[in-house]
A and B are shown apart, each in its own frame.
Chain A
């Protein structure tokens, strides 16, 4: 728990699983969950580098900005997904391939 490598490995696993979710899922909300995993992995890296780089707090600031950006992204993405569902009656990202009906 006092080694940078263990945190980086956890973040790498989270990132890989997030990429796997994004490229294999077809449901739009499941794709969004994969994106959240990727953002969390990046955040773990920020905080870990901040802790092992002499405990300066710059990484904490960037971690907080990433969390704010994730909140904005989730709100807009869910609004878009609900609109797609209302218009096309599916949130399958393979079928929702048209810009207009």
Chain B
């Protein structure tokens, strides 16, 4: 049963990611990105990362996707034209990407990956919080400064009278 759900999640993720990059209507791409992000959150659940799955839903689906849809609304005349966008160089780009995917597949298959047995933790929140405030406290603080700088920078850039 869990196997079927896993492959369903994988199918939803991959197909909607393909729709994101191939569809010519921008708003359809945004909606397909929603399903991709949900699918990736499902993969996190299968990987026993419940906290990261929750953060993915809150930040990506609740924040970044809404920002992207705001961007689409603000940069197109909704009432006058259909929001479409053409792709360029799809043949050459497709060839490069297929080559890249074959290369990555060879790497994935040939490498003898470390596979240690593990038991499923009851919750990952406490462990992640402990690591954030002990071993990884410097990256945590640096990323908080980055977030503050991005917040101020975005506000300054978006003001009318700069």
Contacts and interface: CB of A to CB of B under 8 A. Distances in A.
A26 B49 CA distance: 35
Contacts, number: 232
Interface string B7-47: 00010011001101100001001100100110010011011
Contact of A15 (B44, B104, B118, B132): B104
Given A74-B67, A78-B70, A16 B101 contact: yes
Given A10-B13, A12-B104, A79-B158, A55 B121 contact: yes
A33 B97 CA distance: 17
Nearest to B5: A1
A79 B153 contact: yes
B78 interface: no
A85 B137 CA distance: 39
Contacts of B48: 51, 55
Nearest to B155: A79
Contact of B85 (A8, A9, A19, A26): A26
B146 interface: yes
A6 B75 CA distance: 39
Interface string A37-73: 1001001100110111111011011011101111111
A26 B128 CA distance: 39
A7 B43 contact: yes
13 contacts: A1-B6, A5-B108, A7-B47, A17-B17, A20-B94, A25-B87, A37-B20, A43-B56, A47-B49, A64-B132, A71-B64, A72-B151, A82-B71
